[in-house]
Amino acid sequence: MNKQQAENEMKYRLAKIMLEAMEAEGLISGSEKETVLKKLVNKVKPLIGQLD
């Protein structure tokens, strides 16, 4: 994994944590979270995150 890939993975993981917190607080629904995560995977292309 090169530096750019590591940064992309970190961005994805941080965004996922924030989305899960927002869902837990009732700010977004589960389907909204999944939609955003799919768009994020397509944009950021995390190596490990694509396996989630």
Q: Phi then psi for 23, rounded to 5 degrees?
A: -65, -45
Q: What is the pLDDT of residue 48?
A: 75
Q: What percent of the chain has pLDDT over 90?
A: 73
Distance, CA of 37 to CA of 41 (rounded, Å):
6
Question: pLDDT digits over 18-34, tens only?
Answer: 999 999 999 999 999 99
Q: Mean pLDDT in the chain?
A: 91
Q: Are 19 and 28 in contact (CB under 8 A)?
A: yes
Rounded distance between C-alpha atoms, residue 43 and residue 41, angstroms: 5
Q: Looking at residue 26, what DSSP letter applies?
A: T
